[in-house]
Chain A
């Protein structure tokens, strides 16, 4: 497949598909980092506080890398983060859910479910036909490896105690459905294609097809989801944690089946969000609006 060195090589459909792919990536990282920072000075120990803050800082850096690629498509960072309508955000609802107050198991489980998915997603972008994406995946992957190990360390240690195990099970019950939205198809934003701008956009399977056909990502969402399930479900089961997923065994092979009604009402990817999103969005855009800012502050000229 021929590669794309710049956005000038893309047709309209490809540009819309690339935008959709990048928004999912960037918004997930940004919103999750926003939530992580709520734990600052509140984590169970100074060390765990620093480790989670470190992860939050990494995720913000990654978000910035992806928002920067979106600038190829005519966007600007301050517009994307501080001026975009909350309905135009495309992150998974897993990243926006508020934490149960003081529940460290909640952040640990979320961190685990997200970072396994993130690793798979990055693998599928390593050979991206859009050169700038492939260039940036290496840096991001090196940091995500630590995130996953850190999450697994905590998972195993929490699951080992009665209270920790119970808290983790509650977190699985609450968050597993939201984690599934990581693999849902996105709706295009209102500024693209034939959008009227007023109506919520329907999800667009063509968009997802174009993402794979153009080689922006080399695995479909369906394949990523199946791989993710095949990692997280046995892992959670080993820790005696129950998920809504059941195993369908055919001879020596098996399938993992997720009941249709497991998905939450709001999917995030299609622009619908849970109640918690409006408040979070209001919080992180508040200062920007209050100070009547019109740009994002950067220290380095380029985010690399």
Chain B
């Protein structure tokens, strides 16, 4: 059977899929994975997972997000005029004045 192998390079990092091994059981899968995926690249930890245990969801079955244009959420998505800019400058100037009045270092 096929075991998918996930490698974690450093403690605290995510395990990243790095390949697979053929093995009859978990123990052998771990031993083979150690040689094939843990010897040449820096490795802190390996996972072996039976391929059949992985749940798979395909783009044909479900409309994944991430493709919609969400540029309206970002200021760079707008045309900024000089007038808008002066308002911003004014506003941040007022903030600084307020801080000075409170004797805070700007």
Cβ-defined contact, A46 with B22, below 8 A? yes
Residues on B with C-beta less than 8 A from A48 are 32
* Pick from A47, A146, A150: contact of B36, CB under 8 Å: A47
Residues on B with C-beta less than 8 A from A157 are 24, 28
A54 contacts the other chain (Cβ, under 8 Å)?
yes
B63 contacts the other chain (Cβ, under 8 Å)?
no
* Pick from A46, A47, A54, A153: contact of B39, CB under 8 Å: A54
Residues on B with C-beta less than 8 A from A51 are 31-32, 35
B56 contacts the other chain (Cβ, under 8 Å)?
no
> For window 130-161 of chain A, which residues contact chain B by CB distance below 8 Å?
146, 149-150, 153, 157
> For window 22-77 of chain B, which residues contact chain A by CB distance below 8 Å?
22-24, 27-28, 31-32, 34-36, 39
Q: How far is the CA of A51 from the CA of B38 in the complex (A)?
A: 12
How many residue pairs link A and B with beta carbons under 8 A? The number is: 27
Cβ-defined contact, B35 with A50, below 8 A? yes
Cβ-defined contact, A146 with B31, below 8 A? yes
Cβ-defined contact, B35 with A149, below 8 A? no
Cβ-defined contact, A47 with B24, below 8 A? no
Residues on A with C-beta less than 8 A from B35 are 47, 50-51, 54
Q: Give per-residue flags for A34-77: 1 if the beta carbon is below 8 A from chain B beta carbons, else 0.
A: 00000000000111101100100000000000000000000000
The smallest beta-carbon distance between A159 and chain B, in angstroms, is: 14
Residues on A with C-beta less than 8 A from B28 are 47, 153, 157
* Most interface-central of B22, B23, B27, B31 (chain A CB within 10 A): B31
Residues on A with C-beta less than 8 A from B21 are 47
What is the interface size of chain A, counting residues whose CB is below 8 A from a CB of the partner? 12
Cβ-defined contact, B22 with A45, below 8 A? yes
The smallest beta-carbon distance between A157 and chain B, in angstroms, is: 7
Q: Give per-residue flags for B90-104: 1 if the beta carbon is below 8 A from chain A beta carbons, else 0.
A: 000000000000000
Q: How far is the CA of A157 from the CA of B27 in the complex (A)?
A: 11
Residues on B with C-beta less than 8 A from A50 are 32, 35-36
Cβ-defined contact, A47 with B23, below 8 A? yes
Residues on A with C-beta less than 8 A from B34 are 146
Q: How far is the CA of A149 from the CA of B31 in the complex (A)?
A: 8
The smallest beta-carbon distance between B2 and chain A, in angstroms, is: 11
Name B20's closest neighbour in chain A (CB-CB). A47
Residues on B with C-beta less than 8 A from A150 are 31
The smallest beta-carbon distance between A69 and chain B, in angstroms, is: 25
Q: Give per-residue flags for B1-21: 1 if the beta carbon is below 8 A from chain A beta carbons, else 0.
A: 000000000000000000001
The smallest beta-carbon distance between A107 and chain B, in angstroms, is: 16
Residues on B with C-beta less than 8 A from A45 are 22
The smallest beta-carbon distance between A154 and chain B, in angstroms, is: 8
* 24 pairs of residues in contact across A and B, judged by CB atoms under 8 Å: A45-B22, A46-B22, A47-B21, A47-B22, A47-B23, A47-B28, A47-B32, A47-B35, A47-B36, A48-B32, A50-B32, A50-B35, A50-B36, A51-B31, A51-B32, A51-B35, A54-B35, A54-B39, A146-B31, A146-B34, A149-B31, A153-B31, A157-B24, A157-B28
Q: Which 6 A-B pairs have the closest CB atoms?
A: A47-B32, A54-B35, A51-B35, A47-B21, A150-B31, A50-B35
